[in-house]
Every structure is written in C-alpha cells, then in structure tokens.
Structure 1
Amino acid sequence: MIVVGYLATREGRQGVTSALEEAIRRKIAVTVVVSEKSAKQAPEALTQRDEDLARIQAEAQDSGVALDVRIMSERHDVAEDLIAVAEETSAELIVIGLRRRSPVGKLILGSNAQRILLDSPCPVLAVKTERSATH
C-alpha cells in the first residue's frame, strides 16, 4: 500500500502522479488521503476536489492500480492524517509533494513535510514538480 495526500495544488498533483507511478512499479494499491479541516468548504472547492478525485480514479483504473480514497474530516492535520492512515494500512510508502523553495527556504522544510519525514512508520518519497520553461 502507498499512501498519498491530496492537495489541489501543483505539488499535490505531482505527489498523486508519482504515487500512481510507484504503485505500477511495485504492483500495489494506493490510498489517497483528503484532509478537510472544516466541513464548511466553498462549493467550488468541493466541485474541484470531486473532479480531481474522479480524474485520479480514472487514471488509476486505466493503469490497473487499486485505489482507495479516504476523506478525513474534522480530524487533525495533513501530517497526522497521512501518518495515521499509513499505520492503519501498514503502508510501505508515503508520497508527498514538495514546493520548490529559495536557497534560504531550503534550510527550512515545511512543517507538515518535516513531521511526516520524522514520524512516518515507513519510507517517504518526497517529489518536486517539474520546473517550468521560465525557470
């Protein structure tokens, strides 16, 4: 089992894409964790989430990857949700997407990423998005 968090960002999409690629290589399933801090989300955000998850499910099905989606509402935070699901499923890998940072910013890892790396019960694959042509 591979556990990956869903975020409606470039980094989040890269994390999911990388998790699906890794699942194909390892011939294992993927659990996508959606952490929702509040039950009161804007309707357009929920529509975007549902469209993204439908696309992810279609990609997984086309690739022959078993996919489970868990919407974690009124829980803790992204890091705690990913770690809890990884422990519960005896995951062999957590995949997270990272933002590109400035040289100074590279000294400081995001708090969620740092907590996942330090507290994960299994290896963590941290992926960055492709650089755009303007960089």
Structure 2
Amino acid sequence: MFARIVVGYIPTAEGVAALDAAVELARQDGAHLTVVNTGRDGNYADPTFASAEDIDTIDLQLANADVAHDVRQPTSGRAAADEILAAATEVEADLVVIGVRRRSPVGKLVTGSTAQQILLDAPCAVLAVKARP
C-alpha cells in the first residue's frame, strides 16, 4: 500500500500512461499524489513543459478521481530526473511512477536517460509504465 506517490509527467503518450497508472494507484490506496512536470533544464518553452490548460486538466482529473494531490512545475534549471528525485525525497514518497519509451543504445548514450537515473537513484520503489500501442 502506498501513502505518497510521485509521478513524472510530460505531455506525451508515455507521460499520460504514467499519470493514469499513478492516479489509479493513488485512488485505490488513498495516497497523496505529487505530479512533477518540468521542461528540459527548467525551460518554459520546451515542449515537455505542460501548458496551463494541461495542468488545469490534470488538476480536474485528480479532483474528479477524489485524489489528494499537488502539481509542481519547477523552473530551477535542473534536469527532470533531479526534480523528480528531489520531490520524491521531499515528500518521502513510497513510489515514483515514470513513463518510458523504447530507445536505441546509441540514443541513450548520446542523450542520457531520465528513466535510468530515476530507476538507479530513487529513494523508493519505481514503477515504469509504457504507453499503449
């Protein structure tokens, strides 16, 4: 049973899959859900930085699901993995939920892997969710 869940969200199929899984788990367990969304290096213009409308939709979705929650959009300039890990540590999360996608080994080497850093460094269990085809 989870009391505190952190989910990394970006407006992609993988991000939506992670959010949906986290919402379902939070709803089942009565857990508090912290949603973390940040653009690349805290950049508001990055496509991974959710719009105000996206955030409003998430807030409404969580309220309708009767899930206690907060939504964070840090702009400190830190990497997404660092922001998610910091939130997990701060709220003493029992679980971190992330979306994953298939990438080639060269792609991982060149750009790094947010998911890999979270899997290796999280202070709690991590659930990696793939988007449905």
What TM bracket, shorter-length normalisation?
0.7 to 0.9
Is 1:94 matched up with 2:60? no
Q: 1:13: how far off?
A: 1.1
Query: What 5-or-longer segments of structure 2 have no aligned partner?
Result: none
Q: 1:12 pairs with 11, 15, 19, which one?
A: 15
1:41 aligns with 2:21: no
What one-letter code is carried by the residue in structure 2 that aligns with 1:118? L
TM-score by length of structure 2 reads: 0.83
Give me the whole-angstrom Cα distance separating, in 1, the residues matched to 2:35 and 2:63. 14
Segments of 4+ in structure 1 off by > 2 A? 36-40
In structure 2, distance between residues paired with 1:33 and 1:45: 11
Matches of 2:48 and 2:124, distance apart in 1: 31
Structure 1 residues not aligned, in runs of 5+: none
Any residues of structure 2 matched to 1:14-29 within 5 Å, and which? 14-29=17-32
Give deviations 1:88-112, integer Å, cap 9, x for gaps.
Answer: 10001000001145xx65xx69611
Provide the TM-score with structure 1 as the length reference. Answer: 0.82
From the superposition, tell whether residues 112 and 38 of structure 1 become closer, same or farther in structure 2 (CA, over 3 Å): closer
Query: C-alpha root-mean-square deviation of aligned residues, in Å?
Result: 2.3
1:40 Cα deviation (Å)? 5.0
CA-to-aligned-CA distance 1:62-107 (integer Å, 9 cap, x gap): 1110110111102311111111110010001000001145xx65xx
Distance verdict in 2 for CA 1:27–1:85, change over 3 Å: same
Quick check: 1:75–1:81 contact (8 Å CA) kept in 2?
Answer: no
| Counterparts of 1:30 and 1:40, CA distance in 2 | 23
Q: 1: CA distance between counterparts of 2:62 and 2:130? A: 21
Larger Rg: 1
Alignment partners' CA distance in 2, 1:79 and 1:45 = 13
The residue type equivalent to 1:41 in the other structure is A
Q: Which residue number corresponds to residue 69 of structure 1?
A: 71
Deviation string, structure 1 residues 35-54 (Cα, Å, up to 9, x no partner): 23245527x987x6211111
Instruction: Decide whether the 8 Å contact of 2:42 with 2:74 is kept in 1.
Output: no
**Identical columns (%):** 40
